[in-house]
Structure 1
């Protein structure tokens, strides 16, 4: 698996990383050993980029990552990106200040068992935060103090990513991007390349829709966000099925099926599509299935998609998805 340079951070990371939201919370019941085994499988498959957050299981995801890296003495070999801000209650722009961010950073350092965080990302803060220079001054101070090696932002909207890049200290943008969320490929990707900002792609498989294994009869556990957040009841609906209404998403998946070569799964086709955009640094599908983690990694070495396949994916987006998502995020 090839590596790509993560903006100006100095890190080179594998094209496919591992997202670890699901080993913390909101994806049904996952015990600690299952979570740690997912991390081990990822490392064994060659992944050297892990993404987590302090609120994934109230630190559970961070602690499981720290345990595995410690048992393998792999802290120097793996880049870990975490996030901060969603512990605020209420979750309001004023809370994104130096005092709170330092407190969150110190907790994450303890959870992971490190002196300094490789990469800290603001965790989908309110849009107003991107218009608060003092928040980014605080991040600069945390980096200068040695608590953080680099920082970036995890955004919901293209507008937020574009605004964040105006701050010179922002080295990475994390966002939702997949065949059902194509808007970032326009201006945002262009600006990221121009400014040498790394792009981390989350929700690449649209919460499982783009694996092709979910149908109209699929039921999700009560504590799975695909059950309780379909209308955005708990957090931004764009994090659940990429914001596409469930039935419309299934129709779009059916339209994509004929485009997938026999040599690829739909998940691999999707990941290969994402990696064809050179602004993308790494994509972070999450899974606790060793088989799924290994096949996700294998997607990086599959042949690129053709121009005709790209055009047809765009046509499916235009026909089934665009009206639901394009101007919203």
Structure 2
């Protein structure tokens, strides 16, 4: 498998195994198949496991699979969904979350610790769900004054190798965070052919995932691409129940021309979508939401194919699906 450099974290595989699938939140699987998928991923050359407490059973499964002894060269991430907390409690909450994750995985440190909540400018109002803003988003003043210092302290103590932000919040806020003197070591950014965050988008301004990835790369910040198949919208069929008005369901309907194009090529939409994501500029590694070895095999084939032919990229872009 090809490798890339994830900012200051050094070399990583071009594919990362995400925790959502093996944690059983992206459709049905079981512990045995999830563990077999983890081992198959490592055998294929994947060197990063992307975990989080909200990814179902993934942290416990990592602990069960490796017994606290990761194979040499394998890196692990985790996250904390801080949202809006009292300033005086930020550091304690980050530490408590990290310690719980380390305990679940049987580890003494993680390589990356992400702020999992959205970022927004102070006073910003979301187009959707603004009344619940404090439950999913973190103001820049809280981030700058308390999250960043706490992350730097954890890094200096050696409890984390680096820290990052999940770049699914307001694009202008993410770009502002990348412009600060104390930059994150990595950022997770939407990486799909629709440029769509789907149900994660609550703001009115246009998503700018490729601009965010380019800005991060220019500043030496590692970029992890997420949602290559946009929560199932870019697959042959969504494998979980969605409400009729779900943005992910709307994206699935909007992606019908993409599925028709893949059918004409005689290829599976999920594999083509991963191949496209892997061919995007400025992304160091693409996080997979696979839940079993069959789905993993498609992604491995997409990576092994190398960069997508420009004619195919152009045919996909001509569908006009990008947000």
Q: Structure 1 length normalisation: TM-score?
A: 0.79
From 194, 204, 222, the counterpart of 1:180: 194
Residue in 2 that maps onto 1:98: 91
Consecutive unaligned residues of structure 1, counting only runs of 5 or more, are: none
From 117, 122, 139, the counterpart of 2:151: 139
Residue in 1 that maps onto 2:178: 165
Q: Counterpart of 1:47 in 2: which secondary structure?
A: coil
Distance of aligned partners of 1:186 and 1:204 in 2 relative to their CA distance in 1, 3 Å threshold: closer
Residue in 2 that maps onto 1:2: 2
How far apart, in 2, do the equivalents of 1:155 and 1:94 lie?
A: 22
How far apart, in 1, do the equivalents of 2:214 and 2:174 lie?
A: 12
Distance of aligned partners of 1:125 and 1:77 in 2 relative to their CA distance in 1, 3 Å threshold: same
How far apart, in 2, do the equivalents of 1:256 and 1:130 lie?
A: 42
Deviates more, 1:97-106 or 1:299-308: 299-308
Distance of aligned partners of 1:56 and 1:44 in 2 relative to their CA distance in 1, 3 Å threshold: same
Equivalences, count: 291
Distance of aligned partners of 1:306 and 1:80 in 2 relative to their CA distance in 1, 3 Å threshold: same
How far apart, in 1, do the equivalents of 2:28 and 2:311 lie?
A: 41
Distance of aligned partners of 1:196 and 1:204 in 2 relative to their CA distance in 1, 3 Å threshold: same
Q: Report the Cα offset of residue 160 of structure 1.
A: 3.6
How far apart, in 2, do the equivalents of 1:49 and 1:303 lie?
A: 19
Q: Report the Cα offset of residue 310 of structure 1.
A: 2.0
- Note if contact 2:224-2:287 (Cα within 8 Å) is conserved in structure 1: yes
Q: Counterpart of 2:118 in 1: which secondary structure?
A: coil
* CA deviations over 1:38-77 (Å, ceiling 9, x no partner): 21121122211111101222xx211111222338x43432
Distance of aligned partners of 1:231 and 1:153 in 2 relative to their CA distance in 1, 3 Å threshold: farther
Residue in 2 that maps onto 1:302: 305
Q: Report the Cα offset of residue 169 of structure 1.
A: 4.0
Residue in 2 that maps onto 1:209: 233
Matched, 1:24 2:17: no
Matched, 1:151 2:151: no
Distance of aligned partners of 1:207 and 1:81 in 2 relative to their CA distance in 1, 3 Å threshold: same
Q: Report the Cα offset of residue 231 of structure 1.
A: 4.4
Q: Counterpart of 2:25 in 1: which secondary structure?
A: coil
Q: Counterpart of 1:141 in 2: which secondary structure?
A: helix
Q: Report the Cα offset of residue 200 of structure 1.
A: 0.8
1:163-312 paired onto structure 2 within 5 Å: 163-167=176-180, 168-181=182-195, 184=208, 186-211=210-235, 213-214=236-237, 220=239, 224=240, 226-228=241-243, 231=245, 240=248, 244-249=250-255, 251-257=256-262, 260=265, 262=266, 265-312=268-315
Q: Report the Cα offset of residue 29 of structure 1.
A: 4.1
Distance of aligned partners of 1:94 and 1:126 in 2 relative to their CA distance in 1, 3 Å threshold: farther
Distance of aligned partners of 1:129 and 1:289 in 2 relative to their CA distance in 1, 3 Å threshold: same
Deviates more, 1:269-278 or 1:191-200: 269-278
Distance of aligned partners of 1:147 and 1:13 in 2 relative to their CA distance in 1, 3 Å threshold: same
Distance of aligned partners of 1:94 and 1:308 in 2 relative to their CA distance in 1, 3 Å threshold: farther
- Note if contact 1:109-1:116 (Cα within 8 Å) is conserved in structure 2: yes
- Note if contact 2:226-2:287 (Cα within 8 Å) is conserved in structure 1: yes
RMSD: 2.5
Runs in 1 of length 4+ with deviation above 6 angstroms? none
- Note if contact 1:23-1:61 (Cα within 8 Å) is conserved in structure 2: yes
How far apart, in 2, do the equivalents of 1:23 and 1:126 lie?
A: 27
- Note if contact 1:177-1:184 (Cα within 8 Å) is conserved in structure 2: no
How far apart, in 2, do the equivalents of 1:154 and 1:256 lie?
A: 31
* CA deviations over 1:173-202 (Å, ceiling 9, x no partner): 112220111754542222112101111111
Matched, 1:130 2:140: yes
